[in-house]
Amino acid sequence: MRHRKKTVKLGRTTAHRDSLLANQVCSLIQHQRIKTTLAKAKAVRPLAEKLLTLGKKGDIAARRRAVGYLGQKNAVKKLFEEVAPRAASRNGGYTRIIKLGKRASDAAPMAYIEWVDTSVVATEDAGKSAKKEEKAQTVSSEK
């Protein structure tokens, strides 16, 4: 029987999977949004939400548990000081997964995973597209 065996193995050993997911959560904390495969995004979601709940507690024991899992003090600092206060009024559902379609090389389903309470990502993407438009206009005006 498969009762209480929820872990998705992702084709990796336990240690490799734990470090992969910890690194994915650190990247999510640092960059607010990451692009990964759908299976990895679904595996990262519960861990990211549990760590954000630790961040909302804010005590030293929660901070030590987060450092013990993530292993990166700067990511834990950002989690506790920037990410967790944004989600203080929310009782769960801190992340969202946006499906992107299949990757060209191996047809793996891709997805974004991002924090729900972030507005930084939207402005960064808008800024990048605005810069591309300005570049296109300057190139076409030079011709």
Within a domain: 5:
no
Question: What average pLDDT score do residues 72-91 get?
Answer: 93
69 inside domain: yes
> Cβ atoms within 10 A of the Cβ of 134, count?
10
Q: How high is the pLDDT of residue 143?
A: 56
The Cβ of residue 55 has, within 10 Å, a number of other Cβ atoms equal to 25
Q: Predicted confidence band at 121 (pLDDT cuts at 50, 70, 90)?
A: very low
Question: Whole-model pTM?
Answer: 0.78
Nearest residue to 71 via CA among 109, 15, 11: 15
> Is 31 within a domain?
yes
| 41 inside domain | yes
* Local structure of 75: helix, strand or coil: helix
CB contact at 8 A, 21 and 39:
no
pLDDT confidence tier of residue 70, bands split at 50, 70 and 90: very high
- pLDDT tops 80 at residue 40: yes
Q: Is residue 129 part of a domain?
A: no
Residue 3 lies in a domain: no
Q: How far apart are CA 97 and CA 77, in angstroms?
A: 24
pLDDT at 114: 96
The CATH number for 71's domain is: 3.90.1030.10
In a domain, 51, yes or no: yes
For residue 92, give its domain range.
14-116
* Domain count along the chain: 1
CA-to-CA distance for 116 and 50, rounded, in angstroms? Answer: 15
Supply φ then ψ for residue 13, to 5 degrees: -75, 170
